[in-house]
Structure 1
């Protein structure tokens, strides 16, 4: 049995029903424990996320970054190829109804991601003069397990910093070769140089980059999708009907075009939703840990906005464009189906548009994932390890564009699954701390987040 077969078997167990049940179940638990915070505090969430965009007084020093910069860095890590290709996989395997279950996973995932951000804010460390945090830190200091903390740190460095970034650079290389005829290795070298210019500047440069690029990236994709949706406005209601009907009767939604069952719609929708917004996976808390806020719960509310942007907005736009242009009947899947949908909507401009969007999505994810790995390299080996880590990341980026990546995708999934386990154990062990933090916040701040 070869390595690919072995890793696939491991992933079949890791990402089976038990993991999905634990991830979704954790979100449901926190949603109830926090008394449906994502509904009760929705105005507060928007105000906390966007109310201080233009305030510069708390942003750039060794004690952290601004709340919005933290959100932008987290969204950079969340919004990637999964938003273009992952949604397609869910629809192709589970039918349009999978989109409904993606929304459900996002709703409950908001409870989990709030908890992750609060715990990350509460358990930070100052390493060589810089504030750092994330699951490894709250697993060690809050949950009290050095072993699980170390295990998490090792797996996330491999999963995202090294293997995951190979996947992202490979996606860019393949799409640019297809759209513009640029050799993969040339694309890899250019990406590595650009990433190096950003990451060697440390957290302040990474945060500034994310703050500028992520809003532009998201708006560009949303405007492109909106144009196609408005051009095909008569298909808006039928598309939503396919999604809702497909969640409970997949055959009726597509006339049997996709032989999906309710079980498959649920499974693929929940899985792709959780993979996309990363709630419970332990990635985004690294950015939220270093945000300068007056109360940990404030950054928890900001973290919820990341799920809204990633799944409820970007993933939904991808799904609507596919369904409204009729591309679901093309027989394509993956990024090729997304390209087909935008080609039907934009004509010859569709392919270059998706290539450019994928460049932004994947490139910002590479920078975001580098940052997550950096926080854990500091945890494991201190700041002295960062020059070696940076050079290794750049090397893996170049290698990623030259490789045939089935094994790389599978390894990324495996290490992603492994890093979820210690994070979920710690989250479930510290439910009371999260509830206590929210109660303290709500005793001091009104529904709009103003001091009482």
Structure 2
């Protein structure tokens, strides 16, 4: 039995029904206790997120970044290969109905990610003069467990900073080679140089990069997807019918093309949805922790819009491209299935289009994941650990383009699963604190009364 098989077997246990139930259950808990805040305060969340979009933002500094820069950094990490390959995998393995369950996990995930952002805002620290935060900080300071915090920090550094970024660079290299015949290692070196130039500038350059590139790359992909979907406008309603019907009767939705059960549709939809929007995984709180807002709940609302953009918009459009072009019946899997949809729509340009999208999606994800890992390097070692970490990340990026992605994917999934456990323990253990802050926001802050959330905020 080889290493890949061993890790795959462990992942089947780690990412089995108990983990998915726990993740979705946490989202349901916060949705109920927050009284459906993702619905009640959706308009306010939209305004909080995009109200100042066209205003000139200040540069990020040692005190943090703007609310939109924090969201852009979070979305940079959220919108990646999972939006192309992950959605296609869900559709191919769980049928069109998997998309319905992806929406369900995203809806409840908004409650989870609100809680993560609020807790991250409440528990920040100054590391060598720079404000930083994330799950390791609220696990240590809020939950009072330094051991769990260290476990989380090590897991996320390996999962995202090293293994995850190898997966991203491998995806870029394969896509670029297919479109332009550029050798993988050359692509790896180019990626490492681009990433190196950005991360060496610290939080200021990272925030500046993400707030500029994320809206552009999202718009590019959204417009391209909408063009194909409306080119096949007569298939839009049948596509939605397949999604809703397939959620409860997969065989009827596909005419028996694939033999999947409702259980499989749920499993793949929920799993791929959570992988994509990262709600509950403990990654995006690192960005939301350092957002400059007047009340922690404001960034909680902003964080929810990240799930809407990732799952509600980008993932949905990928699914519609696959279904409206009938690429679904091709029998292809993963990124190749998504690529088939765009090739049917755009002809040979479809391959180039996906290569361009994957390049920007993956580059932005590498930057976001690097930043999340850096926050945990600071937690463990302080600033003295940053330079070695940067060098290792760049080396892993190049190495990732020269090897099979299968083992790296399995390792990344394994450490992703490990880091979720302490994060969920903290979320559940600190749930009452999240509710107190949310109530303070609604009952006092929004009513222009003195807020009292500072009473719950850990000292920086």
- Give the TM interval when normalised to the shorter protein: over 0.9
Give the Å deviation of 1:446: 4.0
Residues 45-54 or 352-361, more deviating: 45-54
Indicate the residue corresponding to 2:25 in structure 1.
25
| Runs (5+) with no aligned partner, structure 2 | 452-460
In the alignment, does 2:129 pair up with 1:129? yes
Indicate the residue corresponding to 2:370 in structure 1.
370
Q: Distance in 2 between matches of 1:451 and 1:194?
A: 46
SS at 2:242 equivalent: helix
Indicate the residue corresponding to 2:262 in structure 1.
262
Indicate the residue corresponding to 1:230 in structure 2.
230
Q: Distance in 1 between matches of 2:87 and 2:38?
A: 23
Q: Cα deviations across residues 217-272 of structure 1 (Å, max 9, x unaligned)? A: 00000000000111111111000000000000001111001111111111111111
Q: Distance in 1 between matches of 2:273 and 2:365?
A: 17
- Once superposed, what is the RMSD of the aligned Cα atoms? 1.4
Q: Distance in 1 between matches of 2:351 and 2:6?
A: 36
Counterpart contact for 1:112–1:280, Cα < 8 Å? yes
Indicate the residue corresponding to 1:387 in structure 2.
387
Give the Å deviation of 1:284: 0.2
Indicate the residue corresponding to 1:247 in structure 2.
247
In the alignment, does 2:65 pair up with 1:65? yes
In the alignment, does 2:282 pair up with 1:278? no
Give the Å deviation of 1:4: 1.5
Counterpart contact for 2:115–2:300, Cα < 8 Å? yes
Indicate the residue corresponding to 1:444 in structure 2.
444
Q: Cα deviations across residues 124-170 of structure 1 (Å, max 9, x unaligned)? A: 00111110000000000001000000000000000000010000000
Indicate the residue corresponding to 2:99 in structure 1.
99
Counterpart contact for 1:444–1:451, Cα < 8 Å? yes
Q: Distance in 2 between matches of 1:391 and 1:298?
A: 35
Indicate the residue corresponding to 2:325 in structure 1.
325
Counterpart contact for 2:228–2:345, Cα < 8 Å? yes
Q: Distance in 2 between matches of 1:5 and 1:365?
A: 27
Give the Å deviation of 1:209: 0.1
Give the Å deviation of 1:404: 1.1
Counterpart contact for 1:105–1:270, Cα < 8 Å? yes
SS at 1:131 equivalent: strand
Give the Å deviation of 1:451: 9.7
Counterpart contact for 1:58–1:292, Cα < 8 Å? no
Using a 3 Å threshold, how does the CA distance of structure 1 residues 238 and 451 change in structure 2: closer, same or farther?
A: farther
Indicate the residue corresponding to 2:300 in structure 1.
300
SS at 2:281 equivalent: coil
In the alignment, does 2:316 pair up with 1:346? no
Counterpart contact for 1:291–1:299, Cα < 8 Å? yes
Give the Å deviation of 1:58: 5.4
Indicate the residue corresponding to 2:456 in structure 1.
none
Q: Distance in 2 between matches of 1:138 and 1:156?
A: 15
Q: Distance in 2 between matches of 1:210 and 1:288?
A: 14
Residues 4-13 or 168-177, more deviating: 4-13
| Runs (5+) with no aligned partner, structure 1 | none
Give the Å deviation of 1:444: 2.7
Give the Å deviation of 1:286: 0.1
